[in-house]
Structure 1
Amino acid sequence: MTENPAARHYSKQQAGSLTTGDQLLLPDGERTAEILQVEFEPDDFGTPAVVLATLTGGGTIRIAAGSSVKILNTTVVDTTHDAEVPLPLAVVPSEEVEAAPEAPAVVVPPLPPIPPAVSGPSAEELARIPAPKGTPEAVVAAAAEAHPDDVGVLLLADKLAKGINFKSGSCLKDLSDLAHELFITLKDPDGALAVADLLNVLPFDGNPGRWASVEASLALSSYICRQDR
Protein backbone atom coordinates (compact mmCIF):
# COMPACT_ATOMS: atom_id res chain seq x y z
CA MET A 1 0.00 0.00 0.00
CA THR A 2 1.41 3.37 -1.03
CA GLU A 3 0.34 6.93 -0.16
CA ASN A 4 0.83 10.39 -1.67
CA PRO A 5 3.45 12.27 0.37
CA ALA A 6 1.99 15.75 -0.31
CA ALA A 7 1.72 17.98 2.78
CA ARG A 8 3.40 15.31 4.90
CA HIS A 9 6.09 15.71 7.53
CA TYR A 10 9.16 13.48 7.45
CA SER A 11 12.09 12.78 9.68
CA LYS A 12 15.45 11.40 8.64
CA GLN A 13 17.00 8.30 10.20
CA GLN A 14 19.53 5.64 9.32
CA ALA A 15 18.27 2.69 7.35
CA GLY A 16 19.70 0.34 9.95
CA SER A 17 17.14 1.61 12.50
CA LEU A 18 14.05 0.91 10.36
CA THR A 19 11.35 -1.18 12.02
CA THR A 20 8.09 -2.82 11.03
CA GLY A 21 5.27 -0.29 10.64
CA ASP A 22 7.43 2.64 9.54
CA GLN A 23 6.06 4.65 6.60
CA LEU A 24 9.06 4.78 4.25
CA LEU A 25 9.38 7.44 1.56
CA LEU A 26 10.09 5.50 -1.62
CA PRO A 27 13.03 6.30 -3.93
CA ASP A 28 10.80 8.24 -6.35
CA GLY A 29 10.20 10.81 -3.60
CA GLU A 30 6.46 10.89 -4.29
CA ARG A 31 4.98 7.89 -2.53
CA THR A 32 5.25 6.19 0.85
CA ALA A 33 4.84 2.57 1.77
CA GLU A 34 4.51 0.77 5.09
CA ILE A 35 7.30 -1.62 5.97
CA LEU A 36 6.04 -5.15 6.62
CA GLN A 37 9.34 -6.78 7.52
CA VAL A 38 12.98 -5.76 7.95
CA GLU A 39 15.92 -8.08 7.29
CA PHE A 40 19.66 -7.46 7.20
CA GLU A 41 22.16 -8.81 4.67
CA PRO A 42 25.71 -8.94 6.08
CA ASP A 43 28.91 -8.27 4.18
CA ASP A 44 31.83 -10.69 4.00
CA PHE A 45 32.91 -9.68 7.50
CA GLY A 46 29.49 -10.49 9.01
CA THR A 47 28.52 -6.87 9.58
CA PRO A 48 24.97 -5.84 8.51
CA ALA A 49 25.53 -3.98 5.26
CA VAL A 50 22.21 -3.98 3.40
CA VAL A 51 18.70 -3.53 4.76
CA LEU A 52 15.99 -5.55 3.03
CA ALA A 53 12.68 -3.77 3.65
CA THR A 54 9.63 -5.78 2.57
CA LEU A 55 6.63 -3.50 1.87
CA THR A 56 2.98 -4.24 2.61
CA GLY A 57 1.99 -3.59 -1.01
CA GLY A 58 4.52 -6.10 -2.24
CA GLY A 59 8.13 -5.77 -3.24
CA THR A 60 11.40 -5.36 -1.40
CA ILE A 61 13.70 -2.36 -1.23
CA ARG A 62 17.43 -2.74 -0.67
CA ILE A 63 19.03 0.08 1.31
CA ALA A 64 22.60 0.48 2.51
CA ALA A 65 22.59 0.16 6.30
CA GLY A 66 24.51 3.42 6.80
CA SER A 67 22.45 5.59 4.45
CA SER A 68 19.70 7.99 5.53
CA VAL A 69 16.06 7.56 4.60
CA LYS A 70 12.92 9.60 5.24
CA ILE A 71 10.15 8.26 7.47
CA LEU A 72 6.67 9.73 7.65
CA ASN A 73 6.22 11.43 11.01
CA THR A 74 2.75 10.35 12.11
CA THR A 75 2.95 12.17 15.50
CA VAL A 76 3.01 15.73 14.09
CA VAL A 77 -0.17 17.63 14.89
CA ASP A 78 -1.24 20.49 12.65
CA THR A 79 -2.01 23.43 14.92
CA THR A 80 -2.36 26.13 12.27
CA HIS A 81 -6.11 25.80 12.17
CA ASP A 82 -6.46 26.21 15.91
CA ALA A 83 -4.20 29.24 15.86
CA GLU A 84 -6.31 30.97 13.23
CA VAL A 85 -9.67 30.41 14.94
CA PRO A 86 -10.09 32.52 18.10
CA LEU A 87 -11.88 31.00 21.06
CA PRO A 88 -15.45 32.21 21.51
CA LEU A 89 -16.05 34.57 24.39
CA ALA A 90 -18.65 33.73 26.98
CA VAL A 91 -21.59 36.11 26.74
CA VAL A 92 -23.85 36.59 29.72
CA PRO A 93 -27.45 37.31 28.70
CA SER A 94 -28.70 40.71 29.79
CA GLU A 95 -31.68 39.06 31.52
CA GLU A 96 -29.33 37.20 33.85
CA VAL A 97 -27.41 40.37 34.62
CA GLU A 98 -30.58 42.23 35.50
CA ALA A 99 -31.87 39.33 37.58
CA ALA A 100 -28.72 39.11 39.71
CA PRO A 101 -29.64 39.52 43.38
CA GLU A 102 -28.49 42.64 45.11
CA ALA A 103 -25.89 42.36 47.82
CA PRO A 104 -27.42 42.50 51.30
CA ALA A 105 -27.06 45.78 53.09
CA VAL A 106 -24.39 45.90 55.75
CA VAL A 107 -25.90 46.23 59.20
CA VAL A 108 -23.72 48.12 61.63
CA PRO A 109 -24.58 47.23 65.23
CA PRO A 110 -24.94 50.13 67.64
CA LEU A 111 -22.02 50.97 69.84
CA PRO A 112 -22.23 49.59 73.38
CA PRO A 113 -23.10 52.11 76.05
CA ILE A 114 -20.11 53.85 77.53
CA PRO A 115 -19.61 52.62 81.09
CA PRO A 116 -19.49 55.32 83.73
CA ALA A 117 -16.05 56.55 84.55
CA VAL A 118 -14.60 55.11 87.73
CA SER A 119 -14.20 57.87 90.24
CA GLY A 120 -12.65 57.74 93.66
CA PRO A 121 -13.94 59.32 96.84
CA SER A 122 -14.49 63.03 96.75
CA ALA A 123 -12.53 65.47 98.85
CA GLU A 124 -15.54 65.82 101.16
CA GLU A 125 -15.69 62.07 101.70
CA LEU A 126 -11.98 61.85 102.40
CA ALA A 127 -12.29 64.65 104.93
CA ARG A 128 -14.62 62.47 107.01
CA ILE A 129 -11.79 60.01 107.68
CA PRO A 130 -10.07 61.09 110.88
CA ALA A 131 -6.45 61.98 110.44
CA PRO A 132 -4.11 59.51 112.13
CA LYS A 133 -2.52 60.66 115.33
CA GLY A 134 1.17 60.97 114.64
CA THR A 135 3.06 59.14 111.92
CA PRO A 136 1.92 55.79 110.45
CA GLU A 137 4.69 54.12 112.44
CA ALA A 138 3.27 55.70 115.62
CA VAL A 139 -0.20 54.28 114.88
CA VAL A 140 1.30 50.81 114.51
CA ALA A 141 3.33 51.22 117.69
CA ALA A 142 0.19 52.26 119.61
CA ALA A 143 -1.58 49.10 118.45
CA ALA A 144 1.36 46.98 119.61
CA GLU A 145 1.42 48.70 123.02
CA ALA A 146 -2.29 48.01 123.46
CA HIS A 147 -1.73 44.27 122.92
CA PRO A 148 1.74 43.42 124.23
CA ASP A 149 0.94 39.72 124.65
CA ASP A 150 -0.33 39.00 121.13
CA VAL A 151 2.41 37.42 119.04
CA GLY A 152 0.71 38.14 115.71
CA VAL A 153 0.41 41.86 116.41
CA LEU A 154 3.98 42.07 117.69
CA LEU A 155 5.41 40.35 114.61
CA LEU A 156 3.56 42.64 112.20
CA ALA A 157 4.37 45.73 114.26
CA ASP A 158 8.05 44.79 114.34
CA LYS A 159 8.15 44.53 110.53
CA LEU A 160 6.32 47.84 110.05
CA ALA A 161 8.36 49.71 112.67
CA LYS A 162 11.34 49.72 110.29
CA GLY A 163 9.48 52.14 108.03
CA ILE A 164 6.19 52.08 106.14
CA ASN A 165 6.43 52.51 102.37
CA PHE A 166 2.96 52.99 100.87
CA LYS A 167 4.31 52.06 97.43
CA SER A 168 5.37 48.65 98.69
CA GLY A 169 2.83 45.89 98.26
CA SER A 170 4.24 43.93 101.19
CA CYS A 171 3.88 46.92 103.55
CA LEU A 172 0.28 47.46 102.48
CA LYS A 173 -0.50 43.79 103.07
CA ASP A 174 1.09 43.89 106.54
CA LEU A 175 -1.08 46.89 107.46
CA SER A 176 -4.21 45.14 106.19
CA ASP A 177 -3.30 41.95 108.09
CA LEU A 178 -2.68 43.98 111.26
CA ALA A 179 -6.10 45.66 111.01
CA HIS A 180 -7.82 42.29 110.56
CA GLU A 181 -5.84 40.78 113.44
CA LEU A 182 -6.90 43.60 115.75
CA PHE A 183 -10.59 43.32 114.89
CA ILE A 184 -11.15 39.60 114.28
CA THR A 185 -8.79 38.05 116.82
CA LEU A 186 -8.51 40.73 119.51
CA LYS A 187 -11.96 42.34 119.13
CA ASP A 188 -10.41 45.83 119.01
CA PRO A 189 -12.48 47.79 116.46
CA ASP A 190 -10.97 51.16 117.38
CA GLY A 191 -7.42 49.93 116.91
CA ALA A 192 -8.41 48.15 113.69
CA LEU A 193 -10.01 51.33 112.29
CA ALA A 194 -6.95 53.40 113.22
CA VAL A 195 -4.69 51.05 111.24
CA ALA A 196 -7.18 50.58 108.39
CA ASP A 197 -7.51 54.35 107.93
CA LEU A 198 -3.84 54.42 106.92
CA LEU A 199 -4.90 52.46 103.81
CA ASN A 200 -8.38 53.87 103.26
CA VAL A 201 -7.08 57.21 101.98
CA LEU A 202 -4.88 55.67 99.30
CA PRO A 203 -6.13 56.04 95.69
CA PHE A 204 -6.05 53.26 93.11
CA ASP A 205 -2.66 53.52 91.38
CA GLY A 206 -3.37 50.98 88.62
CA ASN A 207 -1.67 48.07 90.40
CA PRO A 208 -4.23 45.36 91.29
CA GLY A 209 -1.80 43.68 93.67
CA ARG A 210 -1.39 46.74 95.88
CA TRP A 211 -5.05 47.68 95.58
CA ALA A 212 -6.12 44.29 96.99
CA SER A 213 -4.82 45.31 100.42
CA VAL A 214 -6.58 48.69 100.24
CA GLU A 215 -9.81 47.01 99.12
CA ALA A 216 -9.67 44.57 102.03
CA SER A 217 -9.11 47.45 104.44
CA LEU A 218 -12.07 49.40 103.04
CA ALA A 219 -14.30 46.35 103.36
CA LEU A 220 -13.22 45.82 106.96
CA SER A 221 -13.82 49.47 107.84
CA SER A 222 -17.26 49.38 106.23
CA TYR A 223 -18.17 46.29 108.22
CA ILE A 224 -16.97 47.79 111.51
CA CYS A 225 -18.89 51.02 110.95
CA ARG A 226 -22.11 49.08 110.33
CA GLN A 227 -21.90 47.30 113.68
CA ASP A 228 -23.60 48.58 116.83
CA ARG A 229 -20.73 49.69 118.94
Structure 2
Amino acid sequence: MSATQTQTHGPHSLAFRVMRLCKPSFHVDPPLRIDPFDLLAGEDFSDDPSSASLFRRHVSSADAVDSDLSYRNRFLLNHPTDPIGLSGLLLLPQSFGAIYLGETFCSYISVNNSSTSEVRDVTIKAEIQTERQRILLLDTSKSPVESIRTGGRYDFIVEHDVKELGAHTLVCSALYNDADGERKYLPQFFKFVVANPLSVRTKVRVVKVGSRISTSLFIPPCH
Protein backbone atom coordinates (compact mmCIF):
# COMPACT_ATOMS: atom_id res chain seq x y z
CA MET A 1 0.00 0.00 0.00
CA SER A 2 1.50 3.31 -1.05
CA ALA A 3 0.93 6.42 1.03
CA THR A 4 0.94 10.10 0.18
CA GLN A 5 0.52 13.04 2.52
CA THR A 6 -0.68 16.58 1.93
CA GLN A 7 0.56 19.09 4.49
CA THR A 8 -1.03 22.43 5.29
CA HIS A 9 0.55 25.26 7.28
CA GLY A 10 3.87 23.60 8.06
CA PRO A 11 4.71 20.28 9.72
CA HIS A 12 2.10 18.27 11.56
CA SER A 13 2.09 16.81 15.04
CA LEU A 14 0.05 13.78 13.97
CA ALA A 15 0.67 11.01 11.47
CA PHE A 16 -1.35 8.00 10.34
CA ARG A 17 -0.03 4.44 10.31
CA VAL A 18 -2.03 1.78 8.46
CA MET A 19 -1.65 -2.00 8.66
CA ARG A 20 -3.87 -4.46 6.87
CA LEU A 21 -5.30 -7.11 9.19
CA CYS A 22 -4.76 -10.57 7.72
CA LYS A 23 -4.50 -14.08 9.07
CA PRO A 24 -0.99 -14.75 10.39
CA SER A 25 1.13 -17.49 8.87
CA PHE A 26 3.38 -20.05 10.51
CA HIS A 27 7.00 -19.06 10.96
CA VAL A 28 9.13 -21.69 9.20
CA ASP A 29 12.61 -22.42 10.57
CA PRO A 30 14.68 -23.42 7.50
CA PRO A 31 17.90 -24.89 9.02
CA LEU A 32 18.37 -28.63 8.59
CA ARG A 33 18.33 -30.51 11.88
CA ILE A 34 19.96 -33.84 12.70
CA ASP A 35 19.77 -36.53 15.35
CA PRO A 36 23.05 -36.83 17.34
CA PHE A 37 22.49 -40.59 17.58
CA ASP A 38 22.96 -40.87 13.79
CA LEU A 39 26.33 -39.08 13.98
CA LEU A 40 27.92 -41.10 16.78
CA ALA A 41 26.49 -44.55 16.08
CA GLY A 42 26.67 -46.75 13.01
CA GLU A 43 23.87 -48.62 11.31
CA ASP A 44 24.59 -51.81 13.28
CA PHE A 45 24.72 -50.06 16.66
CA SER A 46 21.05 -50.79 17.32
CA ASP A 47 21.71 -54.52 16.94
CA ASP A 48 22.93 -54.49 20.54
CA PRO A 49 19.86 -53.47 22.62
CA SER A 50 21.85 -52.81 25.80
CA SER A 51 24.35 -50.46 24.11
CA ALA A 52 21.64 -48.56 22.28
CA SER A 53 19.59 -48.13 25.45
CA LEU A 54 22.65 -46.92 27.42
CA PHE A 55 23.57 -44.39 24.74
CA ARG A 56 20.02 -43.05 24.55
CA ARG A 57 19.91 -42.52 28.33
CA HIS A 58 23.27 -40.73 28.22
CA VAL A 59 22.10 -38.32 25.50
CA SER A 60 18.82 -37.66 27.35
CA SER A 61 20.61 -36.92 30.64
CA ALA A 62 23.06 -34.57 28.90
CA ASP A 63 20.18 -32.62 27.35
CA ALA A 64 18.46 -32.37 30.72
CA VAL A 65 21.58 -30.92 32.40
CA ASP A 66 22.20 -28.46 29.59
CA SER A 67 19.36 -26.02 30.25
CA ASP A 68 20.98 -22.83 28.98
CA LEU A 69 19.37 -20.79 26.20
CA SER A 70 22.34 -20.78 23.82
CA TYR A 71 22.06 -21.68 20.14
CA ARG A 72 24.64 -24.46 20.12
CA ASN A 73 21.92 -27.14 19.98
CA ARG A 74 19.73 -25.41 17.42
CA PHE A 75 20.44 -28.05 14.76
CA LEU A 76 19.54 -31.02 16.98
CA LEU A 77 16.31 -32.95 16.74
CA ASN A 78 14.77 -32.70 20.20
CA HIS A 79 11.21 -33.49 19.14
CA PRO A 80 9.71 -35.63 16.34
CA THR A 81 8.06 -32.53 14.83
CA ASP A 82 11.35 -30.61 14.49
CA PRO A 83 12.05 -31.77 10.88
CA ILE A 84 8.87 -29.99 9.74
CA GLY A 85 10.55 -26.65 10.42
CA LEU A 86 7.55 -25.12 12.21
CA SER A 87 8.68 -23.24 15.28
CA GLY A 88 5.19 -22.77 16.71
CA LEU A 89 5.39 -19.00 16.22
CA LEU A 90 2.92 -17.01 14.13
CA LEU A 91 4.17 -14.35 11.71
CA LEU A 92 2.17 -11.23 10.87
CA PRO A 93 2.10 -10.09 7.22
CA GLN A 94 5.16 -8.03 6.33
CA SER A 95 3.52 -6.33 3.32
CA PHE A 96 0.06 -5.25 2.22
CA GLY A 97 -0.28 -8.21 -0.15
CA ALA A 98 -2.97 -8.68 -2.80
CA ILE A 99 -6.66 -8.02 -2.26
CA TYR A 100 -9.32 -9.52 -4.50
CA LEU A 101 -12.89 -8.72 -5.43
CA GLY A 102 -15.35 -10.11 -2.87
CA GLU A 103 -12.94 -9.97 0.07
CA THR A 104 -13.47 -7.91 3.21
CA PHE A 105 -10.83 -5.23 3.51
CA CYS A 106 -9.91 -4.91 7.19
CA SER A 107 -7.33 -2.41 8.35
CA TYR A 108 -5.81 -1.33 11.67
CA ILE A 109 -5.22 2.44 11.72
CA SER A 110 -3.20 4.32 14.30
CA VAL A 111 -2.97 8.11 14.72
CA ASN A 112 0.37 8.90 16.36
CA ASN A 113 1.47 12.10 18.07
CA SER A 114 5.22 12.34 17.46
CA SER A 115 5.54 15.97 18.56
CA THR A 116 6.66 17.37 21.91
CA SER A 117 3.26 18.83 22.77
CA GLU A 118 -0.27 17.59 23.29
CA VAL A 119 -2.96 18.03 20.62
CA ARG A 120 -6.64 18.50 21.45
CA ASP A 121 -10.12 18.20 19.92
CA VAL A 122 -9.09 15.69 17.27
CA THR A 123 -11.68 14.84 14.62
CA ILE A 124 -10.79 11.74 12.61
CA LYS A 125 -12.30 10.47 9.38
CA ALA A 126 -11.57 7.37 7.31
CA GLU A 127 -13.05 6.83 3.85
CA ILE A 128 -12.67 4.46 0.91
CA GLN A 129 -12.62 6.25 -2.43
CA THR A 130 -13.13 4.44 -5.75
CA GLU A 131 -13.77 5.60 -9.30
CA ARG A 132 -17.53 5.47 -8.67
CA GLN A 133 -18.15 6.34 -5.05
CA ARG A 134 -16.81 7.50 -1.69
CA ILE A 135 -17.67 5.37 1.35
CA LEU A 136 -17.39 6.68 4.91
CA LEU A 137 -15.86 4.15 7.32
CA LEU A 138 -15.28 6.27 10.43
CA ASP A 139 -16.26 9.77 11.53
CA THR A 140 -15.65 11.16 15.03
CA SER A 141 -17.11 14.61 14.29
CA LYS A 142 -19.92 14.16 16.82
CA SER A 143 -17.55 12.92 19.53
CA PRO A 144 -14.00 14.19 18.86
CA VAL A 145 -11.02 12.68 20.64
CA GLU A 146 -10.40 14.99 23.59
CA SER A 147 -6.60 14.86 23.41
CA ILE A 148 -3.62 12.81 22.25
CA ARG A 149 -0.60 13.30 24.49
CA THR A 150 3.03 13.38 23.39
CA GLY A 151 4.04 9.92 22.21
CA GLY A 152 0.44 8.75 22.47
CA ARG A 153 -1.86 7.37 19.80
CA TYR A 154 -5.48 6.69 18.94
CA ASP A 155 -6.20 3.31 17.33
CA PHE A 156 -9.22 1.98 15.47
CA ILE A 157 -10.20 -0.74 12.99
CA VAL A 158 -12.19 -0.26 9.78
CA GLU A 159 -13.80 -2.84 7.49
CA HIS A 160 -15.14 -2.64 3.95
CA ASP A 161 -16.62 -5.28 1.62
CA VAL A 162 -14.78 -4.88 -1.68
CA LYS A 163 -17.28 -4.81 -4.57
CA GLU A 164 -15.35 -2.93 -7.26
CA LEU A 165 -12.25 -3.68 -9.29
CA GLY A 166 -9.38 -1.30 -9.90
CA ALA A 167 -7.76 1.47 -7.91
CA HIS A 168 -8.93 2.20 -4.37
CA THR A 169 -7.77 4.90 -1.97
CA LEU A 170 -8.07 4.81 1.80
CA VAL A 171 -8.38 8.47 2.81
CA CYS A 172 -7.49 9.22 6.45
CA SER A 173 -7.82 12.77 7.75
CA ALA A 174 -7.49 14.52 11.10
CA LEU A 175 -8.60 17.99 12.20
CA TYR A 176 -7.00 19.10 15.47
CA ASN A 177 -5.73 21.97 17.63
CA ASP A 178 -1.96 22.13 18.15
CA ALA A 179 -0.11 23.56 21.16
CA ASP A 180 -0.51 27.13 19.85
CA GLY A 181 -4.27 26.71 19.46
CA GLU A 182 -4.04 26.67 15.66
CA ARG A 183 -6.58 24.46 13.90
CA LYS A 184 -4.80 22.14 11.47
CA TYR A 185 -6.00 19.66 8.88
CA LEU A 186 -3.99 16.54 8.01
CA PRO A 187 -5.03 14.28 5.10
CA GLN A 188 -3.16 11.11 4.14
CA PHE A 189 -3.92 8.79 1.22
CA PHE A 190 -3.17 5.06 1.08
CA LYS A 191 -3.63 3.51 -2.36
CA PHE A 192 -4.18 -0.13 -3.30
CA VAL A 193 -5.53 -2.09 -6.27
CA VAL A 194 -8.31 -4.67 -6.18
CA ALA A 195 -7.76 -7.57 -8.59
CA ASN A 196 -10.11 -10.15 -10.07
CA PRO A 197 -9.78 -13.56 -8.36
CA LEU A 198 -10.81 -15.43 -11.53
CA SER A 199 -10.07 -14.99 -15.21
CA VAL A 200 -11.55 -16.86 -18.19
CA ARG A 201 -9.47 -17.68 -21.26
CA THR A 202 -10.94 -19.12 -24.44
CA LYS A 203 -9.15 -21.38 -26.88
CA VAL A 204 -10.55 -22.39 -30.27
CA ARG A 205 -9.32 -25.61 -31.85
CA VAL A 206 -10.13 -26.52 -35.44
CA VAL A 207 -10.00 -30.24 -36.26
CA LYS A 208 -10.31 -31.53 -39.83
CA VAL A 209 -11.76 -35.03 -40.15
CA GLY A 210 -11.92 -36.07 -43.79
CA SER A 211 -13.91 -33.44 -45.65
CA ARG A 212 -15.60 -32.19 -42.50
CA ILE A 213 -14.21 -29.44 -40.27
CA SER A 214 -15.28 -29.31 -36.63
CA THR A 215 -14.61 -26.49 -34.21
CA SER A 216 -14.26 -26.94 -30.45
CA LEU A 217 -14.30 -24.18 -27.86
CA PHE A 218 -12.54 -24.74 -24.55
CA ILE A 219 -13.09 -22.40 -21.60
CA PRO A 220 -10.71 -23.33 -18.78
CA PRO A 221 -11.13 -21.28 -15.60
CA CYS A 222 -7.93 -19.73 -14.27
CA HIS A 223 -7.21 -18.48 -10.76
Per the normalisation by structure 1, the TM-score is: 0.17
Higher relative contact order (CA 8 A, sep 6+): 2
Higher helix share: 1
Per the normalisation by structure 2, the TM-score is: 0.17
Higher strand share: 2
